[in-house]
Structure formats: structure tokens, C-alpha cells
Amino acid sequence: MKAICLFGTCVLMLFGACSGSGAGQASNLPAACELLPVANLQDILREQVKNPTPTNAGVGEISACTYTLPARSLEEYLGIYVLAPRSRDAVQLERLADEWKKRNVGADYELVGDAQYPMAWFPGEHKVYPSTFIILFDKATLVVTGVSLDDSKSIAFQAMVKYKWE
């Protein structure tokens, strides 16, 4: 009986070690719905934010979350996507922006910001694709959709400060 328990414990430890080793730094990232409290999001957006809903992470995302914005139409929402960190260079930013360009029906984006925090911005087109902001930090990559560029930056930089992503 002791042998069976010992074997079971070893198997569980082995699975635990395997599941944690491949994820590396990405496993330490917060879930998108837990990135910032709803109250902080409301302060940034200056409007009501409700119903944080985890959504299926798609291409490259670790987690994703959508929030309803009751003062807007039912089709508009705030989306936050947490991705694994990438090297902070123009090539990585353009690769990621090109992936989102496909999601945004081929819409063009512009590079914004500086070399320290590579950023891309899709201005959005009502009922076609949401505004989309992408930023590369050293310990995470964030995508914020559905709100203005300034509000997207505020969300991203508040998360950066909170989690010390610098």
C-alpha cells in the first residue's frame, strides 16, 4: 500500500513539474479579467464597466477578458488580452500587429510610442472592427480593444506599474 501511495505521489510531482516548466514566465502572468479591478477601469474610461467575462484565448493569448460598457451599444465592449512577453523590438511588434491585422479585416495600423515600449494602434471602424492597441513590456504583452488610444495606454501602464513589468 505504501508503495502505491509513493508511486502516486511521484507521478503527481512529475506532472506538476512538467506543467510548470514549459510555461516559464508566462505562467506568472495575471488572468486578463484580474489585470485591473473594475473600479480602476471605470476611473480610466470615465464610464460604467461591467461583467468581466473570461473569453477563449485565441492566437497566442494566455488569457482574454471582455467587459460590457452599458453606456454604449451592445456591440461595443472593452477587450483585454494577455500574451507572453516578446522581445521589445520593432520586428516583434510588427509581427504581432500583422497577426491582429488579419483579425481586424486587413485594417492598417500605425506604430506609436518609443523604443522603450513598442506600441501599435488600429483606430477601429464602427461595426467592422474595434480599436486595437498593442504594447510590448519586458514581462508581458498586452492588447486592449474597444476604447481610445489614451484610455488603452492608461490601462496598459497601470497594469505595468501594478505588476512591475517595466
| Tens-digit pLDDT string for the chain (166 aa) | 443 333 333 333 333 333 333 344 556 899 999 999 999 999 999 999 999 999 987 778 999 999 999 999 888 999 999 999 999 888 999 999 999 999 898 999 999 977 689 999 999 998 899 999 999 999 999 999 999 999 999 999 999 999 999 7
Q: How far apart are the first and last CA of the chain?
A: 51
Confidence at residue 58, expressed as pLDDT on a 0 to 100 scale: 73
Hey, what amino acid is at 80?
Answer: I
- Only one residue has cell 504583452, namely 141
Place of cell 479591478: 37
pLDDT of residue 8: 36
If you search the block for the grid coordinates 467587459, which residue do you land on? 67
* Per-residue pLDDT at 159: 97
The Cα-based distances of 75 to 20, 60, 70, 127, 148 in angstroms read 38, 24, 10, 8, 16
pLDDT in the model for residue 56: 83
Q: How far is CA 162 from CA 19, 28, 39, 116, 118, in A?
A: 26, 14, 15, 18, 19
